Amino acid sequence: MIKITRDHVIYAFSRWDKPAAFAEPGQCVEFETYDCYQGMVLKEGSTFRDFDRRFGNPATGPLYIKGAMPGDTLKIEIQKLEVGPVGILDIGGSSGALKEAFAGREPVIRRLSVKSGRIDYDGIDVPAKPMIGVIGVAPSGEPVGTLIPMNHGGNMDCTRIEEGATLYLPVSVEGALLSVGDFHAIMGEGEVANCGVEIEGRAVLKVDVLPQTGISWPVLENERQWITIAYGSSLDEAAQRAVEQMFYFLCRKMGLSETDAGMLLDMAGDLMICQIVNPQKTVRMEVPKWLVYAMQERNAS
C-alpha cells in the first residue's frame, strides 16, 4: 500500500505543489496526519505561545492520481480512520459563538486520552466518533489555504466525512492533488465554540477517477444518505448553496423532475450546520437514499 507520512504537509491547496506520491485509480493510500496544531501543544504544560500559527491546520499530501483530469470527479472511499492517543480540546476568545463570553481570558487547553474508541474527559467516558476535517484537491486558480472550505473541499469540518463514507470531489487540475488532515476524535455539529477534539491520525483511502461527471462541488454518500456540502461567508449563503446543489444533483444526476426534487427536499431533506467557527461557514444538505431510489423506480415503471 502507498503511504504518505506526515513529513509531507501543505498549508494551502495549490496546483503548483509537488506530489508526495502517485497512485493508480483503484489503489488504496494511507495518509498519516498531524493534529491541527501540528503537535505543538501536545506536550503537557505547553500553551498557544508555543504554537506557530503559520503552521496551523496542516494537511498531508498531495497525492497525484494518474489519469485524473479537469472535469473528472475523484471518488474517495474512507476505508479506515484511526486517531492518536491524545486529543486537544481548547477554548478561548478567538472564534465561535462564545468568543465574547471568553474574550480577554487565557485560552484553556485540555489534553484528553483517547483509547479503544473512548475519550476520557476528566473521568467522564465519551464515545469517540472520528472524522476528517480537511480533505480536498487543488483548485485551478490561486492557492487556497487549508483553513478555508470551497468547492475543492478543504476545511469542511463535516462530521459525515467518517469511516465508511465516500466523498466525491471535482477535479480541477491534472492528477487532482489530494491532501488530508485536521482529524477530530469527536466534534459537535456546528463546531460552535472553537474546535472538536483535535487529534493526529491515520486514514486509508481508496481513490478512483470518474470521467467527466460534471459535478463541480463536494458530494458525499454513506449507507443511508446523499449529502452536498457547501460554503459561504454567512450561514444563509452556505445554506442556500447547499440546497441548490442538492436540488441540481437530484435533477441532473439522479434524474428526478424539478417538482419531485423540490418536494423530496421538503419532505425528507435535512439542512445541517457543519461549522461556524471559520470565516467561511459550511452547511450540508442530506437526503435519504431510499426515497431517491423509490422515486427513480416509480418514474421508470
**Per-residue pLDDT tens for 237-272?**
999 999 999 999 999 999 999 999 999 999 999 999
d(CA 16, CA 138): 9
Of 159, 183, 210, which marks where a domain is finished? 210
Please state the pTM of the whole predicted model: 0.96
Higher pLDDT, 55 or 284: 284
pLDDT band at 54 (very low <50, low <70, confident <90, very high): confident
Residue 218 inside a domain? The answer is: no
Helices (H), the chain: 235-252, 258-268, 289-300
Domain carrying residue 146: 2-210
Quick one: average pLDDT of 270-290?
Answer: 97
Residue 215 inside a domain? The answer is: no
Are both 156 and 291 inside the same structural domain? no
d(CA 133, CA 86): 17
Quick one: average pLDDT of 180-192?
Answer: 97
Does the pLDDT value for residue 81 go beyond 80?
yes
Residue 217 inside a domain? The answer is: no
d(CA 286, CA 160): 10
Of 185, 210, 235, which marks where a domain is finished? 210
Are both 54 and 164 inside the same structural domain? yes
- 131's CB contacts (< 8 A; 6+ apart) are 81, 158, 159, 160, 161, 162, 183, 184, 186, 187, 196
d(CA 291, CA 295): 6
Contact indicator for 152, 169 with CB cutoff of 8 Å? yes
Domains held by the chain: number: 2
**Amino acid (one-letter) located at 157:** D
Helix (H, G, I), strand (E, B) or coil at 232: strand
Quick one: average pLDDT of 166-191?
Answer: 98
Residue 45 inside a domain? The answer is: yes
Contact indicator for 134, 180 with CB cutoff of 8 Å? yes
- Integer-rounded Cα Rg, in Å, for the chain is 19
Higher pLDDT, 207 or 105: 207
End-to-end CA distance of the chain: 45
**Amino acid (one-letter) located at 161:** I
Are both 52 and 99 inside the same structural domain? yes
pLDDT band at 45 (very low <50, low <70, confident <90, very high): confident
Are both 258 and 189 inside the same structural domain? no
User: In this structure, how many other beta carbons lie within 10 angstroms of the beta carbon of residue 266?
Assistant: 7
Maximum alpha-carbon separation in the chain: 66
Are both 237 and 268 inside the same structural domain? yes
Does the pLDDT value for residue 52 go beyond 80?
no
pLDDT band at 105 (very low <50, low <70, confident <90, very high): confident
Are both 94 and 180 inside the same structural domain? yes
Residue 196 inside a domain? The answer is: yes
Of 210, 237, 252, which marks where a domain is finished? 210
Please give the C-alpha separations between residue 14 and each of 4, 74, 214, 233, in angstroms, as whole numbers.
18, 16, 21, 22
d(CA 44, CA 175): 41
Residue 219 inside a domain? The answer is: no
Quick one: average pLDDT of 61-70?
Answer: 98
Cell of 64: 497525484
Are both 91 and 231 inside the same structural domain? no
Are both 160 and 92 inside the same structural domain? yes
What is the pairing mode between strands 28-33 and 2-4?
parallel
- 123's CB contacts (< 8 A; 6+ apart) are none
Are both 151 and 100 inside the same structural domain? yes
What is the pairing mode between strands 176-184 and 2-4?
unpaired
Over residues 214-231, the pLDDT tens digits come to 889 999 999 999 999 999
User: In this structure, how many other beta carbons lie within 10 angstroms of the beta carbon of residue 40?
Assistant: 18
Residue 273 inside a domain? The answer is: yes
Nearest Cα to Cα of residue 283 among 238, 220, 217, 226: 238
CATH code of the domain in which 99 resides: 2.60.120.580
Quick one: average pLDDT of 168-177?
Answer: 98
CA 146 to chain centre: 11
Are both 84 and 193 inside the same structural domain? yes
Are both 201 and 235 inside the same structural domain? no
Are both 159 and 271 inside the same structural domain? no
